[in-house]
Chain A
Amino acid sequence: AHHFITATACQEADYGWMIRHYCLKQFQLSMEGIGQRLWCDWDETVGTYGELTNCTALIAERLDCYWPNRLVDEFFVAVHRQYFRNCSLSGRALRDPPNGVLCPFILLPILVTLLMTVLVVWRSKRSEGIV
């Protein structure tokens, strides 16, 4: 009998409603507080985003749903569409600079190395008196 109870514990409709009314409202307030200009600044929004994630997980636990699930996916896709549509794909992860900056950084020492080699070969020739 108790298997039957736990199997029907997660009501998807309820879950959907609750995350929209509790978690999303909180998130909306925070994001308004941050200001639309800074929505694409990951350092500013990471805390609020994390809280939103926490909130959906907690409600899932409350309602005996497993997390994440299809509703969570749809929910977050909608959130992203609304708030992060125009942002570049950033994140706190470090990445290399763009190729336009990286290539000169790499090619310059190589060229200087070759120049220095030529210089040393030339100077050691000259120091013998052999030109």
Chain B
Amino acid sequence: MNKTTHSCFLLIILLIRMVPSLSSTVNYTDPTLEPVVTENSVIRQKIIDSQFKCYERMNRAPPYKKKGLFCNRTWDGWLCWDDTPAGRVTAQNCPDYFPDFDPTERASKYCDETGNWFRHPESNRTWSNYTLCNSFTSEKLKMAFILYYMAIVGHALSITSLLISLAIFFYFKSLSCQRITLHKNLFFSYVLNSMFTIAHLIAVVPNPGLVKRDPVSCKVLQFFHQYMLGCNYFWMLCEGIYLHTLIVVAVFAEEQRLHWYYLLGWGFPLVPASIHAVARAKYFNDNCWMSVDTHLLYIVHGPVMAALLVNFFFLLNIVRVLVTKLRDTHRAESNMYMKAVRATLILVPLLGIQFVIIPWRPENRLAGEIYDYIMHILMHYQGLLVATIFCFFNGEIQGALKRQWTQYKTQWGQRRREHCSTRSTSYTATSITEVPIYLYHHDSNNEQLNGRYVEDSELVALKSGETSA
């Protein structure tokens, strides 16, 4: 989704790559050994690149101007170190050459009082401290695996709950209205998004060979992934616009034309996804487009954030109108629409909050871990959340399901009684006469909104009474 969380995935990738060979190619724990040229050409390439940049920097940077002793700028074989005043420890982020080096940890180097770099006492050679770079790797690997499986489970749960919701929407034709149609499209886009994410997580992320080969198919997968991300948020925007038009602009007149919504929800996200693909291919064509260190990702995330913001303002406007103007005039409808808006109002900030708090990952390790868990839940369990709030917690749908359930129960009950006993007709007669009363009482709660449903169930009760009497 966004930079820091994608960097989590990058960490996952790096750490998963580590699994077959659990040690780096250089024995850095040996204090006597400085990094020598390794056989692995990719790693070596990175190190040579860094070396080149280091000497360029050493060449061009102005000479040390402050007073007092200092250690000269140097290349230690892995990282570049600037002129440092005597008696100070300088630190920078660990390099990412090796699979078990964590680039978020710090490597340090001590410049002693005499203006020379610290020499390791055992070997008497200049030594930088890279021990923190791989010391926590096993815990981080474990946590990375937990987050990875959490993501897959989240998306699987989302797909399941969304498919169940879609089945409910399609089965209960009586529920369908324009808003449900928009829900169906939203859920469908979430299902597709989860499918693409699972495909990406299972096929590409743990597969460094594939990433190295860099086939076109994995870039196409990324393109569709970005497209589906756009679809998700633009369908949320369509819901907001629909509610806004319904309540604020047209005041409860039904039947808008949905063509423009389909265009905005399915068609328009192609635009940022295509622009991102073109820009990525031209300027930042890394393997499988997996890197998240590029601002080009904002080509997709910028419009998504804009859509979220616009949606939020639409919803605030709706609430304002409902509260102020319609309170007195259209009481019943405004309650109903307030309930509809409530669901969307809860969802939009929840879906958008990840974009707001993402830049502020805490530095503290424990707080950082908690942050990671929360962000992962917010990101990967969205489909489940949307299905729950829009479908399972919806009063109308719950009522329809309950009615269906009692209908089935009475039908089974009837068949069982017919099958089991032909003699005790008095028993069946009394139990059948009880049933319509039960149904009627049960449905009286929903009478206000769903008048026609009460009629349906009464008809069912009457029919069952007729056939068995």
- A residues apposed to B, CB below 8 Å: 7, 42, 46, 49-50, 53-54, 57, 61, 66-70, 72-73, 76-77, 79-81, 84-85, 87, 89, 91-97, 101-102, 105-110, 112-114, 116-117, 119-121, 123-125, 127-128, 130
Contacts and interface: CB of A to CB of B under 8 A. Distances in A.
Interface string B249-289: 11001001100110110001001100100010001111000
19 contacts: A46-B48, A66-B34, A68-B34, A68-B77, A80-B58, A81-B59, A95-B284, A96-B295, A102-B296, A105-B279, A110-B302, A110-B306, A113-B268, A117-B307, A123-B260, A124-B241, A124-B249, A125-B245, A128-B250
Nearest to B283: A97
A106 B279 CA distance: 10
Given A91-B52, A96-B284, A125-B250, 16 more contacts: A46-B49, A89-B53, A91-B53, A92-B45, A97-B284, A102-B295, A106-B299, A109-B302, A112-B303, A113-B272, A117-B237, A117-B241, A123-B260, A124-B261, A128-B250, A128-B256
Given A70-B74, A125-B249, A76 B55 contact: yes
Contacts of B105: none
B283 A101 contact: yes
A97 B278 CA distance: 13
Contact of B260 (A61, A81, A124): A124
B421 interface: no
Nearest to B242: A124
A80 B56 contact: yes
B294 A96 contact: yes
A66 B261 CA distance: 68
Nearest to B48: A50
A121 B241 contact: yes
The 9 A-B residue pairs whose C-beta atoms are closest, nearest first, are A113-B303, A109-B272, A97-B283, A127-B257, A66-B125, A91-B49, A120-B260, A76-B55, A124-B245
B414 interface: no
Contact of B264 (A93, A117, A125): A117
Nearest to A76: B55
A13 B253 CA distance: 92
Contact of B275 (A53, A109, A119): A109
Given A110-B303, A128-B256, A116 B126 contact: no
A67 B241 contact: no
B469 interface: no
Interface centre among B245, B257, B263, B310 (most CB of A within 10 A): B245
Contacts of B45: 46, 92
Contacts of B285: 94
Nearest to B240: A117
Given A97-B283, A120-B241, A92 B49 contact: yes
Nearest to B263: A120
B44 interface: yes
A77 B52 CA distance: 10
A86 B302 CA distance: 37
Interface centre among A50, A108, A114, A117 (most CB of B within 10 A): A117
A129 to B, nearest CB: 9
B298 interface: yes
Contacts of B109: none
B36 interface: yes
A19 to B, nearest CB: 14
Contacts of A50: 44, 48
Contacts of A120: 238, 241, 260-261, 263-264
Interface centre among B37, B237, B284 (most CB of A within 10 A): B37
Nearest to B307: A113
Contacts of B333: none
B37 A53 contact: yes
A124 B172 CA distance: 27
